[in-house]
Chains A and B, each alone.
Chain A
């Protein structure tokens, strides 16, 4: 049993990696990407562009290796990842149930929704000063800012999707006597699942913006802090490494969600 679980999770991970990297490692893309990278390297070395301002590809790789081996890069990355996951996790765990409840029940919707509709348009970054005063500088403040960035898109999209549930499905369960709870678990949720996953992707993108901002302006840890520090010392290759790392995290998570979407929507497959 245990062995089966391990084996199947390994198979699933491999399947995911093939899915995620599949679009990067195609002949078509590489045909374009490899020459461009070569051009990037040559342009700096030959002196078409200033190597001080635009580091070459090899400069970036060297900076990355240097950070990895001598500057505890992994600790910074782990720190960012932990913060980010906490924020997104909180947002999903609160926004999805709340969105479902508000979409399901008119009475609750009338009471609760206007409150969130007033708060939602505030740009999440505008919360930063107040948050720093409230939580000080540290993990809670960063988690809260990421949470804020991801919460509203997930909440509002979930609510909308649940509200738009096809009444025929509700009727066809109610006629047999299904309770509202049964409808929530077996009908509303599934009908909204596609929209929920979509909104989590939006939430991740916004959360990443908030992570970067939070680490740049408040804190002594994470990739954002490294980025800020590199700016102080004018270490452009380090800055590029940080940018690519942040992008990489976002790319990876969004690929993960796309994969999840694919696996969870077998039932949407057109027949063939």
Chain B
């Protein structure tokens, strides 16, 4: 269970003409994600979806509010109180709050993330990209090879295992990013527009793959998208965002049973309902 309580995020901006400015990306976000469910964050570009996902991944600190994982505080805001802020800054003067430990990896089996633009390492080949991730979470070398090959097989990249990302197509890079996230067997998967840059057929294939994984592993999936049909087809719950500052203005439960059909009348109706509500 992920609880997001009154979450807000404001970015300070460098002043252009002497005045300090700031951008509020997220404002008063409240949401609850039930274990094992698939939820979508749906909204127009720039409404803070990626920012929310990165906060959920622990890669950014919220400005206000907090995130709880299974009831335990996971992300807490940077203190505003002057004294506390000083102490906070002193604590993080050497390493940023987002850094893990200095020398030893701190395996985080609970969360994995697929980034909007893949962010696979261009200097590592396909297999090494996956085994590197496994090495971070402490899987011994002999086993990591085998495990990595297993996941590459799952996403259909086994024949490209020695290629470098620059030799892959967008869809293949995306599969690699998914394999990399899957291999650590996370409890929560955060996916930032994972299927945005692939063709319709590949997208459907990858969606099926995702559904298969979800039903097989009971992983919680948080999916960012601006494709209404995709959100409706995949999710148990959809959060609709308004732009600048990003707020949730509607929560939609999708109750039709799985496996679903894309052309299902109920789904299409829901799709239209969401599309019109955006206008």
Contact = CB atoms under 8 A, between A and B. Distances in A.
Partners in one complex: yes
Nearest to A267: B164
State the majority secondary structure of interface residues on A.
helix
B95 interface: yes
Contacts of B113: 171-172, 175
Contacts of A191: 123
Contacts of A106: 96
Contact of A182 (B54, B117, B136): B136
Contact of A176 (B98, B101, B137, B166): B137
Contacts of A166: 119
B87 interface: no
A179 B102 contact: yes
A269 B101 contact: no
A105 interface: yes
A175 B94 contact: no
A179 B100 contact: yes
Contacts of A263: none
A187 interface: yes
B58 interface: yes
B206 interface: no
A152 B46 CA distance: 42
Interface in A138-187: 166, 168-169, 171-182, 186-187
A6 interface: no
Nearest to A265: B123
Nearest to A270: B166
A72 interface: no
A18 to B, nearest CB: 24
A107 interface: yes
B125 A267 contact: yes
Contacts of A272: 167
Interface in B103-122: 103-108, 111-113, 115, 117, 119-122
B86 to A, nearest CB: 16
B167 A179 contact: no
A174 B164 contact: no
A57 interface: no
Given A172-B113, A268-B166, A270-B166, A180 B123 contact: no
Nearest to B165: A267
B98 A190 contact: no
B201 interface: no
B104 A175 contact: no
B112 A176 contact: yes
A271 interface: yes
B217 to A, nearest CB: 17
B132 A186 contact: yes
B191 to A, nearest CB: 12
Closest 6 CB pairs of A and B: A172-B119, A271-B167, A267-B164, A177-B108, A168-B119, A190-B123
